[in-house]
Amino acid sequence: MGTIYLVRHGQACFGEQDYDRLSPIGGNQSRALRSWICHCNLPVDRVVIGTQTRHRQTAECCLAELVVAPPNSEWQFVPGFSEFDHAEVVQRFRPDLASADAVRAWLSETADPRQEYQKVFAEAFARWIKGDHDDYGESFAAFRARCWQALLALEETPSSSMTTWVFTSGGPISTIVQHALAIPNERIAELTWALVNTGITKLVYRRGGLRAVTINQYPHLELAARPDWITYR
């Protein structure tokens, strides 16, 4: 039986010019995950990473000095586990937010930038997954298909007991869980918003099937006893 751990990246730099990098809290979350992996003596046979910088940085913080991890040269960077284009999804819904500068200017005028952005993003996300518009570079259906295909490719391994760690984003994780549990599109947003930074989703596979064992667990953050490390963006 093979095992796949899907890890959502650590907290990124929301509201800054370069969102795609870990915040200080994101680094702490990733190192807490490393301590938990060591404490549980979990195997790390293969490391797979999406193409975003925050994916790579999470893997680096998590696996640094972890003797059970394979060397960096063996890490696989797989575009199938990359996040969808958040900026485009928002821009198609709100053309006035077509640039990062426009988004920052808009947020600077709000009392609660995170809450206001989440409200707009939720509506933009709903427009995207509904599938009634063809103005996206990647439709939700295409995004879901490429994430699932990337996951299925991991099952094609000579070792039936390999343990793989995938460092990715909330979008790929939620669509993979959606596919595995037959969750309708109308409920995918609820799952996506609930995913914690560096939360772990565990899948097991054997010939003829794959199943989700745990979803969005974060024992490493609970053990750290730092409520401020439990974040969602």
List pLDDT tens digits, range 2-38: 899 999 999 998 767 677 999 999 999 999 999 999 9
Please say whether the beta carbons of 197 and 26 come within 8 A.
yes
Of 137, 172, 204, which one is at a domain's C-terminal end?
137
Q: Is 91 helix (H, G, I), strand (E, B) or coil?
A: helix
- Count of structural domains, the chain: 2
Q: Residue 3: which of 40, 50, 31 has the closest Cα?
A: 40
The 209-217 sheet, strands edge to edge: 76-77, 46-49, 163-168, 2-8, 200-206, 209-217
- What's the average model confidence in pLDDT over 128-153? 95
| Residues 157 and 202 occupy one common structural domain | yes
| Residues 79 and 56 occupy one common structural domain | yes
> Does pLDDT of 69 surpass 60?
no
Of 103, 137, 171, which one is at a domain's C-terminal end?
137
Domain of residue 126 covers: 85-137
**Using one digit for the tens of pLDDT, what is the confidence trace for 74-108?**
789 999 999 999 999 999 999 998 888 888 888 88
Distances (CA, A) of 228 to 59, 62, 94: 21, 19, 31
| Residues 116 and 144 occupy one common structural domain | no
